[in-house]
Amino acid sequence: MRGLVLSLRRERLLLLADTHVGYEVELRRVKGVNVMSQTRRLVEKVLELVEMHNATSVVVLGDVKHELPVPRESAEEVRAFLSTVAKRVPMLLIPGNHDSILQEIASGIGGVEVAPTRGVLVDRFLLIHGHVKPAKQDLEKADVVIMGHTHPAVVIRDDIGYAVKEPAVLKIRTSRTKMCRALYGEPCKRRAQLKIVVLPASHPLITGVDVREIPQMASEGRTLLKYIEWKPEDVEIYLPDMTFIGTLADLQSAFSP
């Protein structure tokens, strides 16, 4: 499962990230790779997860669509994805960096709500894509930040060089004080340690970025992870079924060149 279920009183939120509906358009137009649309497959998987986990709603943590800047070829496909899922359960969309005119695309589709780009605070969980700064008051209240954007994956090689690459979930413990100071120039009022969960991309053709490369990538890119204190021993890595792989420190040690 490339996501997780958040149980809150009477609600069960199915959290997914980076569905990238219309990714196949870029593969064809830019890279010359002809791939059949994966949208039906994506819809079927989402509805299967809704049924399996008895979810009461689906939250997509950004990059609902893929095509930039304007979805000339994939807009109807995005609408079809949203309307089909929303017939089964309500959807909350948190815009990501690929989601230009998402509000316009989703307009008129019953059961679909587009949230602010800076994310939403649900109980003590801050749900955000991860490409912009969250509101300071939300980060102060949150115990856990759940985000996408980064597409984490784990690469494992055996002794003879065979390698597999699988989507991964990151669970990061970090200093709220240092993160707030880096983001806002001052510490947050609340100083308890903060947990950050990074979900993998949900699109079936996107595996992701090797987790060992993410700290360097984050330092150079436009991501919330740019503002955290990276301690490899405090970064836990899981497969999508929540099988624990180890910490980032473990992987750096085990698979160093």
Here the CATH number for the domain that contains residue 225 is 3.60.21
Q: Using an 8 Å Cβ cutoff, are 235 and 247 in contact?
A: yes
Residue range 63-120, pLDDT digits in tens: 999 988 776 788 899 999 999 999 999 999 999 999 999 999 999 999 999 999 999 9
Q: Are 60 and 16 in contact (CB under 8 A)?
A: yes
Classify residue 108 as left (phi > 0), alpha (psi -120 to 50) or beta: left
Q: What would the mean pLDDT of 162-171 be, rounded to a whole number?
A: 93
Query: Do residues 196 and 235 make contact, with C-beta atoms less than 8 angstroms apart?
Result: no
For residue 199, give its domain range: 3-254
- Of 31-40, 109-118, 243-252, the one with minimum mean pLDDT is 31-40
Q: What is the C-alpha separation between 147 and 60, in angstroms, rounded? A: 10
| Rounded alpha-carbon distances, angstroms, from residue 93 to 65, 72, 115, 117 | 11, 20, 6, 9
* Residue with the larger pLDDT of the pair 17 and 190: 17
Helix, strand or coil, per DSSP, at residue 257 = coil
User: What's residue 104's pLDDT?
Assistant: 94
Structurally, the chain folds into a number of domains equal to: 1
The residue-averaged pLDDT of 7-34 equals: 90
253, HSE (Cβ side, Cα atoms, 13 Å): 7
Residue 257 is predicted with a pLDDT of: 53
What CA–CA distance (Å, rounded) separates 114 from 101? 11
256 falls in which pLDDT band (50, 70, 90)? low
Tell me the average pLDDT of the chain.
Answer: 93
Q: Are 74 and 67 in contact (CB under 8 A)?
A: yes
